[in-house]
């Protein structure tokens, strides 16, 4: 009989840990939280120092009973839930509900490897009460906001709405960016480029090979920085340059270094994975959870491949750094490893409770593990591995040349950057926002301005002008938020914490406040109305400084500097007044967005409203005028009245079922490819655009969960996705249609009989 019981969160994590602990330990999983505030009522006694009324989560009674039975005969109980506030809360609730305080120990496992587990088990801790109370304060705070503000929204905006403390600020960012775009007035400006080449000394002289034409841009004109505002000014400058010699003036050559990037933290992993892999934040965290908990590596069994993935620290252990440096020296060469390890500064606001996100075994190249990983796991592990290895490499070195060329009263400038030593870029290149928007890997050297060579030039060289190229441009509005840029904004403003980014982005979409179009967040009419009401009625909640300060105060609770009740009491005093004021004084909001379009029946303005089947145009004088119109959005989001009747035909893409051309159509979730013979042939495809070319997106193979068997036929379950999120389905489908629900963290949610008491 096992002398000790180890309780973790997930079954897969339990399997990996059990492999290393031996027969003296029994390992059981809680399957996430077991205890929480009730779902059907506030569950907080505000008048009694915010005392929470915890209950067993519906469907979790049998897990609790199983742990109770397993703990009876155990001499010691080790609570090894995730090493963060959520994990601390799970540990506290289990210890408290099962009354294990006389034999309980807290274990923080940052990496699920043999060395990591044994090291953690050898240094057990007490459950951190301050950390638990910090999480408890956050949970109660969010519950109070949700339960007090939501009924006001029902009265003032629409029934069934809900509000969240942190999600509301994220919604505000999305709405304000949209209005900034709508109010943006493009400004005209021009650029002037000169296509030049070296001029031979005589007609018979041949130019050297490196004397290909190069481009120089107008830098100054008549002693002032070039600023061409219209075509007339452009024509005047071109006219002034007529017949002028282009002569090389100054030449400046410098050696430039580009420093290596720190290892991933949660937010940077989410951002880069979105840009490079096109993973949603939710998907990134789900795949990372699997890599952390353990992957079957053949005869080795389950092995945790990365450290804990919810962290705000760039710190790495000495052993991991030493292993990475050894791998670099052996595989890249000694010149790629700096004399001393690279150390990165941790932000002042960081909790620094865990290491960075890194491979548990830096010497294990992704290609070595490829056959054991799914496509998604391989992509994410490769990203994490390359970033960590690159963080311990030398800087990239470039030779930069800058040439100023005079032509009359104008000065043109040409720059060239040639890589001298690749350094860390041999392992990793940082993703760009451009990659994400185009859905392609455009982080090439050419795009970054690297390896742009100039011919060998000398001062007073006379150049031949091949072409003057004036171009008209218009300033562009700021881009809408993508998942990665919204996470970056939240992190920079101190809104939320690493463990909350995924739920924040999911919530504003699930509630219908924003939707993603071409990978960017666009607020709905409902989202705009909710935002406007909250901005007027609850300015404190919507204030980013207040929300960031609240996160800081929660950190202070964890550090023992502030008592959680005092924190909640200080918040509630002002908050309750806002609720009363909003109920009594603030007018309701219509769920609509005004437009400049006039009603063709009564000349009143049309507005965008939310209907059963999505947004539509409606007369603002409704119900006196019941004129309504369908509409679509153009490339620049301009409103086009009427349904789109002429789908874009893709003659170069044939249906793989019937051979007919595919067409681009608009659906509920954006554009997709459809067979032109629909409805006779139903063959929809997802697609991306790469350099203006349409590329069909291949469906990812479902993730097989060998650790979870079908309860009906015994076959492995697989992770599948539907409109409502992810779930587990039997791999024997369609013969076996057994399914299991998953929550937002990937844990199984089992249905229980109505008679089961909770």
Task: Give 734-750 as a DSSP string.
Answer: TT---EEEE-TTS-EE-
Q: What are the distances in angstroms from CA 602 to CA 591, 605, 606? A: 21, 9, 10
Q: Which of 20, 63, 78, 308 is catalytic?
A: 308
Show Cβ contacts of residue 431 under 8 Å, excluding neighbours closer than 6 positions: 271, 272, 275, 276, 443
Pairing of strands 104-106, 693-696: unpaired
- Tokens at 633, concatenated: 């959005």
Show Cβ contacts of residue 662 under 8 Å, excluding neighbours closer than 6 positions: 650, 653, 654, 655, 673, 674, 675, 676, 685
Tell me phi and psi for residue 534, to 5 degrees. Answer: -65, -35
The DSSP secondary-structure symbol of 209 reads T
Q: What are the distances in angstroms from CA 146 to CA 124, 161, 578? A: 37, 10, 14
Query: Following CA atoms 272, 275, 276, 282 in sequence, which dihedral angle do they give, to the nearest 10 degrees?
Result: 70
Pairing of strands 514-517, 520-523: antiparallel
Show Cβ contacts of residue 578 under 8 Å, excluding neighbours closer than 6 positions: 537, 538, 539, 540, 541
How far apart are alpha carbons 334 and 315 in whole angstroms?
A: 23
Specify whether the CB–CB gap between 260 and 423 falls below 8 A: yes
- Tokens at 619, concatenated: 């007369």
How far apart are alpha carbons 63 and 523 in whole angstroms?
A: 40
Burial level of 72, CB count in 10 A (0-12/13-18/19+)?
exposed
How many Cα neighbours within 13 Å face the side chain of 521? Answer: 31
CA 406 to chain centre: 47
Q: What angle do CA 630, 632, 637 make, to 5 degrees?
A: 140
Q: What are the distances in angstroms from CA 696 to CA 177, 280, 330, 433, 674? A: 31, 19, 40, 22, 11
Q: Bridge-partner residues for 125, per DSSP?
A: 106
Q: Bridge-partner residues for 78, per DSSP?
A: 6, 105
The DSSP secondary-structure symbol of 524 reads -
Specify whether the CB–CB gap between 247 and 406 falls below 8 A: yes
Q: Bridge-partner residues for 394, per DSSP?
A: none
To the query of whether residue 378 is one of the catalytic residues in this protein, the response is: no
CA 214 to chain centre: 39
Query: Following CA atoms 239, 242, 246, 247 in sequence, which dihedral angle do they give, to the nearest 10 degrees?
Result: -100
Task: Give 15-59 as a DSSP string.
Answer: HHHHHHH-TTEEEEE--S--EE--SSS--EETTTTTEE--EEPTT
How far apart are alpha carbons 478 and 489 in whole angstroms?
A: 14
- Tokens at 692, concatenated: 């203006």
Q: Mind spelling out the 3-state secondary structure of 474-502?
A: ECCCCCCCCHHHHHHHHHHCCCCCCCCHH
Name the nearest CA neighbour of 26 among 97, 77, 98: 77
Q: Which are the catalytic amino acids? A: 308
């Amino acid at each position: 009989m096992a002398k000790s019981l180890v309780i973790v969160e997930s079954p897969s994590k339990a399997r990996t840990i059990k492999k290393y602990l031996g027969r003296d330990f029994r390992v059981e999983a809680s399957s996430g939280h077991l205890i929480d505030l009730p779902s059907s009522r506030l569950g907080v006694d505000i008048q009694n120092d915010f005392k929470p009324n915890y209950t067993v989560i519906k469907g979790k009674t049998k897990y609790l009973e199983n742990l109770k039975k397993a703990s009876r005969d155990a001499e010691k109980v080790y609570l090894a839930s995730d090493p963060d506030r959520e994990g601390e809360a799970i540990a506290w609730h289990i210890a408290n509900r099962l009354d294990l305080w006389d034999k309980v120990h807290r274990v923080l496992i940052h990496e699920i490897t043999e060395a990591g587990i044994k090291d953690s088990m050898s240094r057990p801790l007490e459950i951190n009460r301050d950390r638990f109370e910090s999480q408890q304060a956050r949970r109660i705070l969010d519950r109070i906001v949700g339960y007090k503000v939501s009924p006001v929204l029902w009265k003032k905006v629409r029934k069934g709405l809900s509000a969240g403390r942190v999600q509301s600020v994220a919604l505000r960012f999305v709405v304000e960016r949209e209005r900034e775009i709508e109010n943006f007035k493009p400004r005209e400006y021009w650029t002037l480029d000169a296509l030049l080449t070296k001029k031979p000394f005589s007609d018979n002289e041949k130019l050297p090979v490196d004397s290909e034409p190069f481009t120089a841009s107008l830098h100054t004109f008549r002693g002032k920085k070039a600023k061409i505002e219209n075509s007339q000014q452009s024509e005047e400058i071109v006219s002034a340059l007529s017949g002028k010699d282009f002569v090389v003036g100054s030449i400046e050559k410098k050696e430039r270094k580009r420093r290596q990037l720190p290892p991933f933290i949660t937010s940077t992993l989410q951002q880069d994975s979105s840009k490079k892999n096109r993973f949603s934040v939710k998907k990134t965290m789900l795949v990372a959870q699997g890599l952390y908990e353990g992957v079957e590596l053949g005869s080795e069994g389950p092995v945790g491949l990365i450290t804990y993935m919810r962290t705000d620290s760039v710190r790495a252990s000495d052993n991991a750094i030493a292993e990475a440096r050894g791998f670099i020296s052996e595989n890249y060469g000694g010149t790629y490893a700096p004399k001393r390890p690279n150390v990165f500064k941790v932000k002042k606001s960081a909790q620094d409770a865990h290491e960075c996100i890194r491979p548990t075994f830096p010497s294990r190249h992704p290609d070595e593990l490829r056959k054991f990983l799914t496509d998604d796991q391989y992509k994410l592990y490769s990203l994490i591995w390359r970033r960590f290895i690159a963080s311990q490499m030398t800087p990239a070195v470039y030779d930069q040349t800058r040439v100023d060329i005079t032509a009359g009263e104008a000065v043109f400038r040409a720059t060239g950057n040639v890589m001298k030593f690749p350094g860390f870029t041999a392992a990793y290149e940082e993703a760009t926002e451009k990659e994400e928007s185009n859905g392609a890997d455009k982080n090439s050297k050419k795009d970054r301005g690297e390896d742009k060579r100039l011919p060998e030039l000398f001062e007073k060289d006379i150049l031949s002008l091949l072409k003057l190229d004036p171009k008209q441009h218009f300033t562009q509005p700021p881009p809408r938020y993508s998942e990665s840029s919204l996470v970056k904004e939240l992190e920079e403003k101190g809104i939320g914490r690493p463990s909350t980014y995924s739920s924040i982005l999911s919530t504003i979409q699930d509630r219908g406040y924003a939707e993603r179009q071409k990978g960017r967040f666009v607020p709905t009419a409902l989202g705009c109305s909710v935002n406007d009401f909250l901005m007027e009625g609850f300015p404190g909640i919507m204030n980013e400084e207040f929300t960031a300060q609240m996160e800081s105060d929660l950190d202070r609770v964890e550090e023992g500097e502030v008592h959680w009740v005092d924190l909640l009491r200080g918040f509630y005093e002002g908050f309750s007044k806002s609720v009363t004021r909003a109920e009594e004084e603030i007018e309701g909001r219509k769920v609509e967005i005004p437009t400049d379009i006039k009603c063709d029946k009564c000349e009143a303005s049309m507005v965008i409203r939310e209907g059963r089947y999505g947004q539509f145009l409606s007369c603002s004088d409704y119900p006196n005028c019941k004129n309504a119109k369908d509409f679509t959005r153009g490339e620049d989001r301009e409103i086009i009245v009427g349904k789109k009747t002429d789908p874009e035909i893709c003659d170069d893409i044939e249906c793989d079922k019937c051979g007919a051309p595919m067409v681009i159509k608009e659906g509920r979730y954006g554009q997709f490819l459809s067979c032109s013979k629909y409805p006779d042939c139903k063959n929809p495809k997802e697609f991306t655009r790469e350099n203006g070319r349409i590329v069909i997106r291949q469906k990812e193979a479902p993730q097989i969960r060998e650790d979870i068997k079908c309860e009906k036929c015994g076959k492995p379950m697989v992770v599948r996705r539907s409109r409502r999120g992810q779930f587990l389905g039997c791999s024997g489908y369609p013969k076996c249609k057994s399914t299991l629900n998953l929550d937002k963290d990937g844990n199984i949610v089992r249905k229980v009989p109505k008679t089961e008491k909770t």
